Amino acid sequence: MDIQTIKSLNVAELREKLSELGLNTTGLKAGLQERLINHFGLQADVESVSDRSEYEDATVPEVSRSGSMFTLKDISDSLSFSGSDSLSIRQWVDEFEENAEVVGWNNIQKFIYGKQLLKGAARLFVRGQVGLRDWDSLKGALVAEFGESLSSIEIHRLLRNRRKGDNETFREYLYTLMEIGKPIDLDVASLLEYFIEGIPDSKSSKSNLYQAKTIAEMKDQIKIYEKQDQGITMEIV
């Protein structure tokens, strides 16, 4: 896959491709493009990706006369949810609520704007529901209807097949695994095991990583591992 192909994909297609590769599917369009470009080790020109606004596909934000309220236009169209793309309902809810908190929406605004961001099957589903009068009831109905479709076995398969990319930092790799395992509340021990196994190196070279029992400990061990790896590289050179 080349840069032009990646740039031609819309948000749903980008997320679908990222999901196939076992990569994090959350974020805005520019971030999704950059994630794919980094995964394939491509060199992106500065103008095409790096310096593009995250809101390139969103309409221009509007602010009320008081200057203190934001409208739906402040949220990128990458936050729409149809129920049929690679973005899970729980991921969409998390992203929507994070953005809503930033722009200061109250419960009623979240209810109104949340409904407007729905498309396809999700929009049709909500139209047929009775008694949805606030964000909490809307969120509950959507989660119940479009809850995670991936089974525990499928998620473990994704984690087992996921490998750290050459252009991916250890933290990016770790956070991606955490995101994949979130729907099944993956335990820390299993997460760390998948993390270590996905690093393309011998077990002896990764021996210090096996000492970590928590996420915080793993981050500390990663620093040690990176220093060891850099030392070996310098000796070879």
Measured distance CA(99)–CA(81) in Å, rounded: 15
Please state the rounded mean pLDDT for residues 128-133. Answer: 87
Tokens (6 digits) for 183: 């729907």
pLDDT at 143: 85
Tokens (6 digits) for 123: 């929009």
Please state the rounded mean pLDDT for residues 134-153. Answer: 82
Helical H runs in 23-151?
29-39, 89-103, 107-116, 120-127, 135-145
| DSSP type of residue 210 | G
| 187 has pLDDT over 90 | yes
Tokens (6 digits) for 211: 């000492």
pLDDT at 152: 80
**pLDDT band at residue 82 under the 50/70/90 scheme:** confident
pLDDT at 231: 58
Geometric angle at alpha carbon 58, from 55 and 59, rounded to 5°: 125
Measured distance CA(207)–CA(164) in Å, rounded: 17
pLDDT at 3: 82
Measured distance CA(205)–CA(63) in Å, rounded: 55
Measured distance CA(19)–CA(86) in Å, rounded: 7
**pLDDT band at residue 153 under the 50/70/90 scheme:** confident
Query: Domains of the chain by range and CATH?
Result: 1-57 (1.10.720), 58-149 (no CATH), 152-236 (1.10.1200)
Q: What percent of the chain has pLDDT over 70?
A: 77
Measured distance CA(137)–CA(99) in Å, rounded: 19
* Stronger pLDDT, 171 or 91, i.e. the higher one: 171
Please state the rounded mean pLDDT for residues 93-116. Answer: 87
* Stronger pLDDT, 32 or 151, i.e. the higher one: 32
Q: What is the dihedral of CA 84, 85, 91, 94, to 10 degrees?
A: -80
pLDDT at 190: 94
Residue bearing tokens 């491509």:
42
Query: Rounded to two decimals, what is the model's pTM?
Result: 0.43
| Tens of pLDDT, residues 95-105 | 888 888 887 88
| Tens of pLDDT, residues 27-76 | 667 777 888 888 877 765 433 443 443 333 333 334 343 344 455 665 65
pLDDT at 126: 92
